[in-house]
Amino acid sequence: MQNRVLHTPLIGSRIVVTGGAGFLGRAVLHALAARGLPPPFVPRRCDYDLTTEEGVIKLFADARPDIVIHLAAEVGGIGANQTNPGRYFYANMAMSLHLIEQARQTGLRKFVHTGTICSYPKFTPVPFHEDDLWNGYPEETNAPYGIAKKAAMVMLDGYRRQYGLASAYLLPVNLYGPWDNFDLQSSHVIPALIRKCIEAQEHDVDSIECWGTGSASREFLFVDDAAEGIIRAAERIDDPAPINLGTGSEITIRELVERVADACEFRGEIRWDATKPDGQPRRCVDAGRAEKLLDWKAEVALSDGLRRTVAWYRTTRHARTRTGH
């Protein structure tokens, strides 16, 4: 696959954003609004079950989209991945399968799909380059989710070559920011750490516990930066060769915990449970393709992003608890 750079005008297009009410979806809607576009159609799970053919057919009939930006996913951190491997494979594969097929049947102008860094092989050379995506099996706890997402890329490539369906495929690294999932049972590392630190302060607890040894490294991208990359792909790309979205900078989980604790002003002890898995040893991407094809680079530094995320969580957490969000 080789990306072709176009400029698809989004003005006047009927756009569907699956997962538009979620964490990344909110940022994508904001980025679309910043371009002067009207609100896109955002399907809600109670009205459209996107894991079923019937639900997807109903969505396309009601929204009549020109462009679909597919963000909806069932996903969580290491613990959630260990608990739900079958569900995560099925739900993510089924959504992509039905949405892409319906896009073909209705003559959709473009399909934009968000993949996952979990699709990369467990021991990918760092920094991860898109050409290494198939050079091994993903880290075991993430494999069902990662492979389901990667299979969608193969489907888009086949549909591009056989049916002419234009598409783009993005691989964002771990995202964080306001409106993230802070549920300790299913959240990723940054929101989980923020919640642990703040709740420890509120309950006068002098320590928090973290999974693993802290030796694994990760790369983190502020959600607004990811949203901008996704919209630029919708505007410029029509072929689903994978495009990494990241900062190109990695940090160990141990150092990350220290940075989050500092942003939360938590001064207690950090205890490590080495019986829990670390996950993939290292993650850091080469984002050169995104810079070249999308004219995109991450703008929000980790220190600033953490500060903004902690401030948002402190301000909103009690209000969201009272309203059930």
Dihedral sign, Cα of residue 278, residue 169, residue 228, residue 286: positive
Q: Which residues of 45-55 are buried (b: 16+ CB within 10 A; e: fewer)?
A: eeebbbbeeeb
Contact (Cβ atoms closer than 8 angstroms) between residue 170 and residue 245: yes
Nearest to 63 by CA among 129, 13, 5: 13
E strand spans, the chain? 15-18, 67-70, 110-114, 167-172, 174-176, 207-211, 217-218, 220-222, 242-245, 251-252, 269-273
Distance CA 61, CA 105 (A): 12
Bridge partners, residue 211, by sequence = 273
Out of 120, 145, 176, 313, the active site residue is 145
Q: Is 145 a catalytic residue?
A: yes
Catalytic residues: 145
